[in-house]
Structure 1
Amino acid sequence: MKNPTKRAILHIVIATGVASVVTQLVLMREFLAQFQGNEPIVALVLFTWLVAGGIGTRLARRVLSAHAGQLARLSFLLAMLAPAQIMAVRLLRPMLFGAGTSVGFYATFLFTAATMAPYALLVGYLLPYSLYVIRRIETGYTGVGIYLADNIGDVCGGALFTFVLVVWADPMPSLLVAHLPLAMAAGRLAANRWEQLAGPLEVLCVLLGAVWFEPLSLAPTGGRLVHYEETPHGRLTVHQSSEQTTLFANGRPMAASHDPMTAERLVHYALCQVSTPRRVLLIASRGGMLAQLQKYHPAAVDYVELDPAMIRLMYTYDLEHPFEGVHAVEADARIWLMQHTAAYDAVLISLPEPETFQLNRFYTDPFFALVAQRLTHGGILCFSVEGAANYLTRAQRQIISSLWKTARRHFAHVRLLPGEPIFFLCRQEPVDLDIPGRLARAGVDTLYAGPYFSGEVTRERIDRLEAALDRNAPVNGDMHPYLMQLAMVQWFTKFGNSPGWFMSLAAAALLFFLARLGRAEFVLFTTGMTAMGIQMVLIFAFQIYLGYIYAKIGMLVTVCLAGLPAGAWWGRRVKKAHVLLLATDGMLIILIIGLTAALHLVGDGLPGIFYYVSGFMLSAACGFQIPLALSFMGDAPEAAARIFSVDLVGAAAGALLCGALLIPYLGISGATLVLAGGKLVGMLRLAGRYAPF
């Protein structure tokens, strides 16, 4: 590569790939933090990113004349947009919706699109624009060459984020590190000496300003921010207002300094049932629970938190007070129970509502079976979910009924105590509902659990609640998470919305788009849909079985990105595009079926490396088809731009379809079967045997 301008253009393409992937991952974590870890947010982020990128790619087809100087200026603009959109998310979220409030689907989607679209649109525009500029220097330069350079940058960006930035840097410093190489590369391509100096300097000033402003952008609307920390597992903040100290994880309140009622009820409703509780497992804490546990003088308390920083902050801000025998465990509680065979007299789950896949995994049939195996004779499991003393909504009734039926499969006695929240007491021995009497006989003093129990939890309310249970409610499982389906329904009904309008418009737009595609383009659309759909399946399955996708999402995205250029590099070396497109479609169908079978048969037993290898293999098969489609259609600039656009739109459809619809409603297996079916239709259409459009 002797031409310095050509080299500078390829450096920009690679640097854009690095910067865009880091920005995408930072945005995913930002939206997860702002919207309380709700995983369908990942689908909306990817959908918006890919649709905007696809539109940008289509717009580039209208370019009449491309210039290196204009490419440099657009690259400077891209680098400055990155911190601006993060700031927009942080400042506009509380301004438009209120701090800490839940937000409806349509409002979330519009907010995501508005804050992300400018950057994603420009990223999509720059890829074909770079091809046009480089072809002014070398007419025969292929679109696959640009695609490979972009994917190399994507992989490098994913690796940089996963192994360096997520561990050592906060969001704004991460954007600084990722975009400085782009600014420097664009500076070398700038049209004149002034732009070569001024462009990178302007970018540096904007990025440094964002780093300085970052703590201020996270200040709460009420009270003051006394601690802010980004960990591999999430964003932790500590707010103080008057004498109240509250610890937040990803925007969700996890523990408060003045909430003794919650701690008392969760501890004493359960432990008073056990004559001598010697060993207790505490999964997370709402604050003050260890002090209540100490009243029973247990020999050992295993206090488990996924994030080590959570335990440190609990102790630092006096939200918990450890005593002799408390063992702080930094691990995923489900994996901890699988790997340790110690028997417990009580298992207390103090987690938020099962509204995400990460939380739902502690309320499923396999987890309840695991807890039942780890309890001693006479041991008890206690947890709570949102409810009311006198009235339940239809969705709440279905959630409680499903949890009751799921727990009842493994515990002979499951009793519900009505209130706000509703408590579940699960054990093999009968549950004694005379809780004030048992506390008095044990000599345990309480402020709320004993004195106010009889007035709040009456026999009439208990009978009414248990009579309202739907005995035919579905069991909540890992591969078929019924509570996630209900959570999606609640997400819409809570705000008086319906998914029908959105899905109908999306389906109409998609059908219009597909009707305009040729056979090779249709195959490539299904390839993009499969690649992103499988990535969503792996993300959700990783979350279900291993439970910490916030920490590992960068790695999973990186290996999927690495498979694309590996496959594309191999695909450009072969001939017989028509035959090989058919063959790789068949191979993708087999791989998808194999992935589904492994998740069904092994589930919890699959190590993290399985997800990475599966993502790489499936992505490599998809990447293999890119050069084949280009050779099938011809490698003119317009064909390359169209191929990139079709691939992005297919990926957007896969992200939305799997992340927001198929997985929540049909489960993992239903989503993979739909993806395999889409590939089969593309395979048959390419073979000329079936043409639905």
Structure 2
Amino acid sequence: MREFISAFYGNELAIGVQLGAWLFWTALGSALMPRIFSSPPSLSRFSILQFLLAFFFPLTLMAIRASKVFFHISPGEIPGLAEMAKVAFLTLCPLCIVSGFSYTTACQLISELKNHSPKTIGQVYVLEAIGAGLGGFVATLFFFPHLSSIHIVLLLSLINFISGICLWILDSRSEFRMPALILGLVGWLFLFRFSPSIEKTWDQWFWKDLKLLATKQTAYGNLAIVQTGEMLTVFENGLPLFTRPDPLTAESIVHYALLEHPNPEKILLVGGTLGGTIEQAFLHPSVHTIHAVELDPEAIGFVQKYIGTLDWPPHQVQIHFGDARKWIRNTQETFDVIILNMPTPYTAQLNRFYTVEFYQEVRKRLHPHGLFFFQVSSSENAIGKELSEFLSTLYTTLHQVFDEVILLPGDRCRFIASPRMGQLTSDPAILSKRIQERNLQTQYVQNYYIEFDLSKERREYLRSRIFLVPPERINRDFKPIAYLYDLLLWTTHYASFVKKIFIFLFKKKWIDFLLFFIGLLGIYYVFSKASHLPYSEIRLSVLTVGFTEISIELIWILLYQITFGTAYKALALLVAAYMAGLALGSRWGLRWASKNSKTFDRLIGIQCALGVYLMLTIGFLRIFHSNQMNRMLFPIGIGLGGFLGGAQFILANGFFLHKIPSVAKATGTLYGLDLIGAMLGTLFTTVAILPVLGILQTLSLLGILNFFAFLLLVALRLFTKNPSNLDG
């Protein structure tokens, strides 16, 4: 998952598309296995599947990295949704189908060992969840801090290879066992020994048109430094962070902000510290102190090796490392000017720097006559409907907190806000006068540049394209509207039908989504009844919970990202906490399912509990804002969701296996439904529901869907002709 995020620039859509592809192919594999292999399962078949997994792990990593070259995705280019889907579904297909085969085969083998006990699926499900949970914890504590992605994948490959050999030894008497073992280990050692060279070759292949100086994997992403002539550009996860020297960008960021203030003395820079902004700020004679906040401490040291010693005045510059929002919230310092030097909010992670909640924190750190500055991608002379709505949302959101807000035109629209009226100006004559008074020696931001950039016609045109949006379009932490608008702008560069889909979804309200999903579940229920599928209510329950559980996982990851700035380094830990909860819930469900009686009633109770859990989560988030949440709440919250999902799946399987004696058929049916629901959840939640409705309304939608499934189960209990059939 981390590799895919890195390949597609940290975009949350990439997570949803990747998980959707993973779940689709795994569900297909688990459903097809009993239909492809009619013969009884064997250890030799299972060992072959383990060998295939060992082979496909490194192959999949290579395919993901090579995909950007095959699909002609250049460094710094944000690919379209279609490209993401192609890469995800093509690269993950072999690995996930084999994984689905393996699950069903394991269920059949253990069923034979246990004399076809109905607890088989539950035991395999518990073991799978325990393995995933342990894998997440080990990866977080040991693998990610010390090993590269290729080393981690090779270790996983080795584990599966050894597992396959052990199974083969147990089942086979072939004289080729030992040569095969030696050959496999030699091949693995060769790959492990030369993996740094292989990784370097991959990097040079991707950056082949640029001079790649170095790469580094940090806790926050993948860094790369490339050289073009005399300029060095730093990329993070494939997107440019800054270029040095780049006086045009540095001057336009710093001087428009500082010229708005009559006497700037104390400055705060958020992001882009090494892009030349500090040097430009000290050109203003009144500036005596600069604080700068950077997220990744390793990035500064890594970049300094190539840009040389930074000529900053001693004792006047203080660099702080960590989440900028947390630092601003906790510091007691106040500033004349705060400059946000972040990219346009093309992800939900970046969106947290453009919300009402962040602006409120910024205002508390400004002097009474201070100002706040940021800029986003725009258009100098032609602002279309989507761009107009995007800029208007940012303007209205900023106006919720600051009394005075002005916008300055350009290829990047500049937003300047002040706590008091009458502090700001867009008059080029006043700004030009301050340039002369301060004797600024700049290359680009000079009198003629400002007079052209802020001409009356350009200012009036920009003003005509800005309007106040309604309250529901205000950008907030838990409802990232600006991120949605940026998605709309992003789709304008690709297929028009994708843009039309996003525009269509954007106009929909919560009730529209609810009716749509209730309708889908209703259609599935009617189809199941018409096809005479037994216990359609339980099938629908498993499908609904699969949809809900993956959405819960994605929502908690997004909440962590909103609260702490990045989920990149905590991703494995959060997934591990979810899988640990899943294992505990599965173990609890297995214990109750083994008692046979009242399994169905307990299934009803868990279905209701899941709906209650979602509603309580909404209440919790309304009471405790993102700024007040402790890190420990996240593994607890996501783990509790996993517990309920694991218990529900095992209880449903326990009931099903008493009615359908075929382990393979029961396994393929319910596991496939669970994964199909999860696949739909990843795609709908990340692409449509979360961007349009926000976190709180998404949780309420999921809660009602689960109460709908609960009512169907209750109806089955109340209106079945022979209630005793539900108790056995």
TM beyond 0.5: yes
Equivalent in 556, 566, 578 of residue 560 of structure 1:
578
In structure 2, give the amino acid aligned to 1:323.
Answer: P
In structure 1, give the amino acid aligned to 2:469.
Answer: N
Which digits, 9 at most, give the CA deviation of each residue in 1:519-565, with x for residues without a partner?
22211121211111111111112112221111211111110011111
- Aligned residue number for residue 723 of structure 2: none
The answer to whether the aligner puts 1:487 opposite 2:502 as a matched pair is no
Which shows bigger deviation, 216-225 or 205-214? 205-214
Report the CA distance between 1:690 and its aligned residue. 11
- Aligned residue number for residue 609 of structure 1: 632
- Aligned residue number for residue 271 of structure 2: 284
Equivalent in 442, 445, 470 of residue 446 of structure 1:
442
Alpha-carbon distance between aligned partners in 2 of 1:447 and 1:510, rounded to the nearest angstrom: 63
- Aligned residue number for residue 657 of structure 1: 684
The answer to whether the aligner puts 1:261 opposite 2:260 as a matched pair is no
In structure 2, give the amino acid aligned to 1:274.
Answer: H
- Aligned residue number for residue 288 of structure 2: 299
Report the CA distance between 1:351 and its aligned residue. 0.7
Which digits, 9 at most, give the CA deviation of each residue in 1:62-85, with x for residues without a partner?
222222122212211211211212
Quick check: 1:315–1:321 contact (8 Å CA) kept in 2? no
CA distance 1:176–1:513, change in 2 (3 Å): farther
Alpha-carbon distance between aligned partners in 1 of 2:630 and 2:130, rounded to the nearest angstrom: 27
Matching of residues 87-486 of structure 1 within 5 Å: 87-99=62-74, 100-141=76-117, 142-190=120-168, 191=172, 192=174, 193=177, 194-206=179-191, 210-219=195-204, 220-285=207-272, 287-296=275-284, 298-318=287-307, 321-324=311-314, 325-427=316-418, 428=420, 429-432=422-425, 433=427, 434-451=430-447, 452-472=449-469, 474-486=473-485
Alpha-carbon distance between aligned partners in 1 of 2:90 and 2:46, rounded to the nearest angstrom: 24
Alpha-carbon distance between aligned partners in 2 of 1:47 and 1:135, rounded to the nearest angstrom: 29
CA distance 1:210–1:682, change in 2 (3 Å): farther
Alpha-carbon distance between aligned partners in 2 of 1:134 and 1:593, rounded to the nearest angstrom: 38
- Aligned residue number for residue 512 of structure 2: none
Alpha-carbon distance between aligned partners in 2 of 1:383 and 1:362, rounded to the nearest angstrom: 10
- Aligned residue number for residue 8 of structure 1: none
Quick check: 2:57–2:156 contact (8 Å CA) kept in 1? no
Quick check: 2:611–2:703 contact (8 Å CA) kept in 1? yes
Alpha-carbon distance between aligned partners in 2 of 1:509 and 1:88, rounded to the nearest angstrom: 35
Give ranges in structure 1 of 5+ residues lacking alignment: 1-27
SS in structure 1 opposite 2:496?
coil
Quick check: 2:524–2:540 contact (8 Å CA) kept in 1? no
Tell me how many residue pairs correspond in the alignment: 663
The answer to whether the aligner puts 1:569 opposite 2:587 as a matched pair is yes
In structure 1, give the amino acid aligned to 2:623.
Answer: L
CA distance 1:595–1:689, change in 2 (3 Å): same
Equivalent in 609, 618, 624 of residue 647 of structure 2:
624
Alpha-carbon distance between aligned partners in 2 of 1:211 and 1:269, rounded to the nearest angstrom: 45
Aligned-residue sequence identity (percent) comes to 25
Alpha-carbon distance between aligned partners in 1 of 2:717 and 2:197, rounded to the nearest angstrom: 59
CA distance 1:362–1:196, change in 2 (3 Å): same
CA distance 1:210–1:224, change in 2 (3 Å): same
- Aligned residue number for residue 61 of structure 1: 34
Alpha-carbon distance between aligned partners in 2 of 1:253 and 1:510, rounded to the nearest angstrom: 44
Alpha-carbon distance between aligned partners in 1 of 2:490 and 2:704, rounded to the nearest angstrom: 29
Quick check: 2:328–2:361 contact (8 Å CA) kept in 1? yes
Report the CA distance between 1:270 and its aligned residue. 1.1
Which digits, 9 at most, give the CA deviation of each residue in 1:187-243, with x for residues without a partner?
111233244444444455455555531122122032222111111111111011222
Alpha-carbon distance between aligned partners in 2 of 1:477 and 1:614, rounded to the nearest angstrom: 22
Equivalent in 584, 597, 608 of residue 586 of structure 1:
608
Which digits, 9 at most, give the CA deviation of each residue in 1:558-585, with x for residues without a partner?
1001111100111111241111111111
SS in structure 1 opposite 2:227?
strand
The answer to whether the aligner puts 1:672 opposite 2:699 as a matched pair is yes
SS in structure 1 opposite 2:591?
coil
CA distance 1:510–1:248, change in 2 (3 Å): farther
Which digits, 9 at most, give the CA deviation of each residue in 1:287-307, with x for residues without a partner?
111111122353322211111
Report the CA distance between 1:56 and its aligned residue. 0.6
Alpha-carbon distance between aligned partners in 2 of 1:122 and 1:401, rounded to the nearest angstrom: 49
Quick check: 2:58–2:157 contact (8 Å CA) kept in 1? no
Alpha-carbon distance between aligned partners in 2 of 1:207 and 1:132, rounded to the nearest angstrom: 34
In structure 2, give the amino acid aligned to 1:537.
Answer: I
Which shows bigger deviation, 554-563 or 124-133? 124-133
In structure 2, give the amino acid aligned to 1:607.
Answer: N
Quick check: 1:360–1:484 contact (8 Å CA) kept in 2? yes
- Aligned residue number for residue 11 of structure 1: none
Equivalent in 499, 519, 533 of residue 537 of structure 2:
519
Alpha-carbon distance between aligned partners in 2 of 1:204 and 1:134, rounded to the nearest angstrom: 33
- Aligned residue number for residue 79 of structure 1: 54
Give ranges in structure 2 of 5+ residues lacking alignment: 506-515, 719-728
CA distance 1:310–1:177, change in 2 (3 Å): same
Quick check: 2:57–2:154 contact (8 Å CA) kept in 1? no
In structure 1, give the amino acid aligned to 2:141.
Answer: F
Quick check: 2:46–2:102 contact (8 Å CA) kept in 1? yes
Quick check: 1:83–1:207 contact (8 Å CA) kept in 2? no
Alpha-carbon distance between aligned partners in 1 of 2:149 and 2:520, rounded to the nearest angstrom: 35
Matching of residues 592-603 of structure 1 within 5 Å: 592-603=614-625
Which shows bigger deviation, 136-145 or 50-59? 136-145
SS in structure 2 opposite 1:345?
strand
Alpha-carbon distance between aligned partners in 2 of 1:673 and 1:629, rounded to the nearest angstrom: 24
Quick check: 1:60–1:125 contact (8 Å CA) kept in 2? yes
In structure 2, give the amino acid aligned to 1:396.
Answer: L
